[in-house]
Amino acid sequence: MQLSIRLLKEIIFIQIVIIFLQKQFFQINNVSESTALFSNDATILGILILILAGIFYAEKSPNKYFKKFFKYVPGLLLCYFVPSIFNSLGIISAEDSNLYYMASRYLLPASLVLLTLSIDLKSIINLGPKAIIMFLSGTLGIVIGGPISLLIASYFGLVPISPDELWRGLTTVAGSWIGGGANQAAMKEMFNVNDTIFSSMITVDVIVANIWMAFLLFGAGINKKMDNWLKADSSAITTLKNKLINYKKKNQRIPSLTDFMVILGIAFGITGIAHFGADIITPYIESNFPSLTKFSLTSPFFWLIVIATTGGLFLSFTKFRKYEGAGASTIGSVFLYILVATIGMKMDALAILDNPGLFILGAIWMLIHIVLLLSVAKFIRAPFFFVAVGSQANIGGAASAPVVASAFHPSLAPVGVLLAVLGYAVGTYAAWLCGILMQFAS
């Protein structure tokens, strides 16, 4: 445990050094920080996939140093972390790239279809209420963490922004951390947040949330130790995981070209249906039931995820489920890892140096969320899986909750999706309450 913590500290220290050196380089050479060495999406995608390939190759390497390293640092963490370093160094840039949009709108729903194809819905239900309890604890941590962190920041004068503008801007972070982009946009309009403050809040949102996601991915690699510390019974999760592994082994076969084409047809066929359905449902609700905006039901992304996941669950009751034996979840995992790399690419840690007080406030806010989560988990003896997925379903939403869930096992990704959908539903109400509390605290 001590060695794993030391390795993580070393990784973080290396990134801090890189960030500092790059900052000095840009200051000396008067180079625009927004200029990237590679800006073509095709080139960037090639770089990202080469990074993923290198990490996976190293993880399975017989080299004793690699074995020792990957024993404590999950490969998934590096798949997220290394692209963020490339972004911070200015080698690649997410600012003008459409890769994240492509991955989240096309590869993510396709991945969810394939990962849910062999899922045992009854076994997920049998996981019990602890997943919901941990999700709601995470929501509560964000709601109360906002005003508390604002009071601390105001007392020490950490943020040189007027109190009225500050609390209004922070409501958009609350909207994003509880629900998602649609809830964040709703808070912007509801509390009249100006564009300048809003852009700063988006930066805080992305960087603080992604740093926490990195810790969750690291925790997934030591989840047994975390479960021992929490004194948690993770037998139901282990049973589900083993059941799905055994099903895959039982039906495993050497896949043919036809198998791969059918698997891709399933994945992107349902993704296409999901986009088609979202394009119809969203404007219909906007025109006829505008009051449902508060539940994020006018968000195309919400319906995209819901329809794709529902399609995968429906096919899990049909003969298409047998394509798991031909590698359906493996292909789904490939799509998910590409999404992870594009998420990591979005993180530019250099922005922390522009307004450190604002990031300290965000870090305090996140710390309150974490402390409450771990306290509740300790009290009810919830497995760390529920802590990680419950938190990320709030903080990251449908784009990253299945990523964290799949870090424990690919078959568990639907649990993250289901909780993230719940976040969309409660996001606006909970963020509004957090905003009112922050208004009183300012």
Q: What is the mean pLDDT of the chain?
A: 82
Q: Pick 262 or 248 by higher pLDDT.
A: 262
Side chain identity, residue 329: S
Residue 21 pLDDT level (bands cut at 50, 70, 90): very low
- pLDDT for 437 equals 93
pLDDT at 319 over 60: yes
Q: What percentage of the chain exceeds 70 in pLDDT? A: 86
Give the bridge partners for 38, in sequence order.
92
Q: Pick 135 or 73 by higher pLDDT.
A: 135
- pLDDT for 410 equals 77
- pLDDT for 295 equals 65
- Average the pLDDT over each of 89-103, 128-142, 360-374 and give the range with the smallest value: 89-103
Residues in contact with 204: Cβ distance below 8 Å, sequence separation at least 6, in sequence order: 173, 358, 359, 361, 362
- pLDDT for 197 equals 82
Half-sphere exposure of 207 (CA within 13 A, CB side): 24
State mean pLDDT over 190-207: 78
- pLDDT for 160 equals 82
State mean pLDDT over 423-437: 82
Q: Answer for the pair 375, 228: CB distance below 8 angstroms, yes or no.
A: no
Residues in contact with 384: Cβ distance below 8 Å, sequence separation at least 6, in sequence order: 219, 220, 223, 226, 227, 230, 232, 234, 377
DSSP 312-359: HHHHTTSGGGGGGGGTHHHHHHHHHHHHHHHHHHT--GGGGGT-HHHH
- pLDDT for 185 equals 66
pLDDT at 425 over 90: no
Burial class (CB in 10 A: 0-12, 13-18, 19+), 234: buried
Nearest to 334 by CA among 111, 135, 176: 111
pLDDT at 354 over 90: no
Q: Answer for the pair 40, 91: CB distance below 8 angstroms, yes or no.
A: no
Q: How far is CA 432 from CA 96, 197, 201, 395, 419, in A?
A: 31, 18, 16, 16, 20
Q: pTM above 0.75?
A: no
Measure the CA–CA gap between 277 and 272, rounded to whole angstroms: 9
- pLDDT for 339 equals 86
pLDDT digits (tens, 9 = 90+) for 134-175: 999 999 999 999 999 999 998 888 888 888 889 989 998 998
- pLDDT for 350 equals 65
Q: Answer for the pair 197, 204: CB distance below 8 angstroms, yes or no.
A: no
Residue 267 pLDDT level (bands cut at 50, 70, 90): very high
Q: Hunting for tokens 């005003």 — which residue is that? A: 147
Buried b / exposed e over 371-391, threshold 16 CB at 10 Å, is ebbbebbeeeebbbbbbbbbb
Number of H-type helices and E-type strands within the chain: 20, 0
pLDDT at 86 over 80: yes
pLDDT at 7 over 60: no
Q: Answer for the pair 323, 263: CB distance below 8 angstroms, yes or no.
A: yes
Residue 299 pLDDT level (bands cut at 50, 70, 90): confident
